[in-house]
Structure 1
């Protein structure tokens, strides 16, 4: 993954989202140690403080926990918290934007729902 320095999203948020995605993909299991801020800084060529801020964000959300002197580890219910957060924030925002755009284009609810169902079916096939 490449970080987007031109994004309006801060780098530390991009780091936290990347780690969340890694947890969702199963690359980090419950109680498994994740990258340190220095490893993340090296991996993404960023300041260690920025990487640390991304890790702290996940600690604050109880997705990671600290073991003093050992590093950061994946919390027991991290996957569920990430999925819930993304469902309640990301999907709702995307749906809101979709509905607004559909209204601008005069797309009726039934047609929009049909488009969503077709897209979902195509996604399930892949």
Structure 2
């Protein structure tokens, strides 16, 4: 992963999102030890405090848990928590934006649903 240091999203948020994606994809499994703040700092050439902030976000959201003296580990419910968070935050925001744009363009609900179905079929290779 390459961090976007020129964007508006803070680096520690990008680190947290990258770790979430690694967990969702199965590259890091439940109860597996996660990278330390120093490993992340070395991997991404960032300050260890920035990496720690990303890890702490995930700990606060119960995606990671701490074992004193051993580091941080992926919680049993990590995938569930990530999926719920992304559905409730990211997808809902995107859907609201699409619905508002559809209203501005006078696109009906049925037409919008057909567009979504068509895009989904394209992604599956059904076209």
1:46 match: 46
1:122 and 1:38 mapped to 2: Cα distance?
A: 42
Matches within 5 A, 1:35-114: 35-114=35-114
- Displacement, 1:9? 1.2
1:11 match: 11
TM-score of the pair, normalised by structure 1:
0.96
Classify the secondary structure of the residue corresponding to 1:115.
helix
- Displacement, 1:125? 2.9
> Any unmatched runs of 5+ in structure 1?
none
2:2 match: 2
1:8 and 1:101 mapped to 2: Cα distance?
A: 23
Classify the secondary structure of the residue corresponding to 1:31.
coil
1:125 and 1:77 mapped to 2: Cα distance?
A: 32
1:21 match: 21
CA RMSD for the aligned pairs? 1.1
User: Which stretches of structure 1, 4 residues or more, deviate above 4 A after TM superposition?
Assistant: none
1:8 and 1:104 mapped to 2: Cα distance?
A: 27
1:33 match: 33
Classify the secondary structure of the residue corresponding to 2:66.
strand
1:58 and 1:79 mapped to 2: Cα distance?
A: 12
Aligned length: 126
> Any unmatched runs of 5+ in structure 2?
none
